[in-house]
Amino acid sequence: MKINFDSLKPVYIQIAEAIEDDIISGILTEGDAAYSQLIIARGLNVNPATAAKGINVLVSKGILEKQRGSSMVVACGALERLLSERKEIGVNGLISSLVSEAVKIGVSESELIGKIKNHYKGLEGKQNE
Amino acid sequence: MNKIVKTTNLCKTFGKKHALSDVSVSISENSITGLIGRNGSGKTTLMRILAGKLDKANGEALVFGKEPMDNLAVLNKMVYTYHNVQYDQNLHLKTILFGYEAIFLNFDGTFANKLMRYFDLTGKMKYKSLSQGMASIFNFLCALSCRAPLTMLDEPVLGMDVTVRKSAYEILLRDYTEHPRTIIVSSHLLSELESILSDILLIDNGRVVLNNSVDDIRQSAYRIDGTPSAIGGYAADKKVIMQKKSELSSFAVIYEQCTEAVIESAKKQGLTVSPVRPEELCVFLTQQNKEAELECLW
């Protein structure tokens, strides 16, 4: 995890997204204990209040759950929900900026689609190696 | 949340100078508050009143719900250090630590000694032989080891080199997570301190300019870059706290909640949006208009 203090994204949102990334990449799996407020504060050198705010974003989204006692665990179905959310919001957002950049510099629709296909081929090639 | 410090219309004058005017602030329990302001803005005056070292002129200053001055019940719960603590210059550091141990109930001598070793200080050194930076380190470690429910650090990093400052911030945060307490720290280096703070209290000319959580302050302003006409059109009905026009770059700083909707709408008008760090915001909110004077210097 790395926090960028020069980003438009609030620090607590960056913390929430970093935890989401760890769930998506499988470092944290469902039912695992998530990072505590203090672990995040010490690890990233941020105030515990900011860390708690990041965790609360995920609790209100249902990605993390408070278990008996005070420990926080990755909720059941968290991974699936995150993936569909990223497909919906994340990929759409990227495509929208990609398309507007393409329009600005005069790349046609078919040209752009061709380039995307090439990238997919490139990735497959790498996986086959 | 429990308020540890609460002032209402606090005023203080030194002769004709108004050091503090109508300062009404509150500081929550277990927060780390950065007390920020320019030279002579009243930071130290405020801290000294809270520490019971200075009498106020008017208004109210409550610490743990009571007036701090001459009130042992309150003073026992707080430690206040500043850069030129007047110890007897011939005292050994070891002796000074004994003094702290005698006064402060929660003083952790083992922790203090570990910090002494960490920062390469020995008990045999004399306070007067320390450089400014080393004296700051010593004062900092003493204050931290007191584990006082209210810890006030006035310019704790004065004279420390950048490496030591980094360690100091990390130790402060780590010790706070181990032993939560209310900490007030004044500094000119907000950018370094920002990440470990929960709140910022900005004062200027003895008046409160900002008193809010760091997370809110980080989002309370943004900068737009673009052509002068695009900036003019966008900023017309907004609160602009800084504006610059030149052939190479024109920008404005807008004092308004930086939401995603706001970013989108600015982008649609051909503007680039970038964040304003709390330190920059404090500069914009406290600088008098000296641009013209600056141009006249040459």
- In angstroms, the separation between the Cα of residue A86 and the nearest Cα of chain B is 17
CATH superfamily of B3-215: P-loop containing nucleotide triphosphate hydrolases (3.40.50.300)
Q: Is the pLDDT at B289 greater than 70, yes or no? A: no
Q: How many CB atoms lie within 10 A of CB A9?
A: 15
Taking CB atoms and an 8 Å limit, are B170 and A45 in contact across chains? Answer: yes
Separation between Cα atoms, residue B157 and residue B151, nearest integer Å: 15
- Domain limits, chain A: 11-76, 79-128
Q: Is A66 on the interface with B (CB under 8 A)?
A: no
CATH fold of B218-295 reads Alpha-Beta Plaits (3.30.70)
User: Are A11 and B218 an interchain contact pair (Cβ–Cβ within 8 Å)?
Assistant: yes
Contact A11 B219 (CB under 8 A): no
For residue A126 the two structure tokens come to 């790498």
Tokens of A16: 């929430």
Left, alpha or beta for A73 (phi > 0: left; psi -120 to 50: alpha)?
beta
The reported pLDDT for the residue numbered A50 is 95
Q: Which helix (H) or strand (E) is A111 found in, with range?
A: helix A109-128
Q: What is the band of B56 on the pLDDT scale with cuts at 50, 70, 90?
A: confident
Average pLDDT over residues B256-274: 90
- The alpha carbon of residue B182 is apart from the nearest alpha carbon of chain A, in Å, by 13
Instruction: Encode chain A (129 residues) as per-residue pLDDT tens digits.
Output: 788 988 999 999 999 999 999 999 999 999 888 999 999 999 999 999 999 999 999 999 999 998 877 678 999 999 999 999 888 888 888 898 899 889 989 999 999 999 999 999 988 887 776
Domain ranges for chain B: 3-215, 218-295
Predicted complex ipTM:
0.84
- Shortest distance between the Cα of A119 and any Cα of chain B, in A, equals 28
Question: Quick check: B214 and A50 CB within 8 A?
Answer: yes
Instruction: Give the mean pLDDT of B64-83.
Output: 93
B6 touches chain A (CB under 8 A): no
Domain A11-76 listed as CATH 1.10.10.10: yes
Residue of B nearest to A40 (CA): B177
CB contact (8 A) between residue A3 and residue B195: yes
Closest residue in chain B to residue A54, using alpha carbons only: B215
**Whole-model pTM above 0.95?**
no
